[in-house]
Structure 1
Amino acid sequence: MRQGDSWSGHERNCAFLNLGGDTPLANVSHVTGVDFADDARGLAATDWDQDGDLDLWITNRTEPAVRFLRNNTSGNWLAVRLKGVDCNRDAIGARVELRLRPSGIVLLRTLRAGDAFL
């Protein structure tokens, strides 16, 4: 490998939007503001400011080491506090199913303790 070359390939961060059905994913990196050339290594989506939407923490191999992207959109949201019993007090693995009327749309979420490759 020549000096100055990167094992990472100098690739910008990407974000894709699932358009549903057989339609391919749409590259929305630029319009979402995540297309930094930071050489990202990890992503955490969490409601950091407790306003009902997901904010992003991105960790990078290069500078800046951490980047925070706040989602300032407005909309409706529902907070659910899960409490387990016996040995699973944190309710890890619990599933919450929400059925919207009149559309019949079903939203399903599972409480996870974490998942990542790093």
Structure 2
Amino acid sequence: MGTNNSDIIIKLQKETDEVLEVMCANTDKVKERGEKLEVLDDRAMQLLESGKVFQKTAKEVAKQERFKNMKWKIILGVTFGLVALIIIIVIVCFILSSKPKDSVTPSTTEKTVNGQ
């Protein structure tokens, strides 16, 4: 019976050692996964911060582009306004210069002076 008991104890000891090895391996895997999760969490935080910076920069660039577009629209509007004003002034001057003036002819003046 002593051999039988010692065989059972040896067998149980081997099984315990195997379970212990599996548990140690599982613990190592959990530690590795934890480390990998920490790395992923750090990367996610960095991406979040980078995304915020990108969003802020994109808004600033869009604002600058709107300002540039508005500036060009104002320049074009003023230019077209000035061209229209010049055209109107030229047309008015042309109309006024081609309109017959109340010109006084010498014969009309003489008739008026002589009383005729």
So what's the TM-score if we normalise by structure 1?
0.14
Q: Which structure: larger Rg?
A: 2
| Structure showing the higher helix proportion among its residues | 2
Instruction: State the structure with bigger RCO (CA 8 A, min sep 6), 1 or 2.
Output: 1
So what's the TM-score if we normalise by structure 2?
0.15
| Structure showing the higher strand proportion among its residues | 1
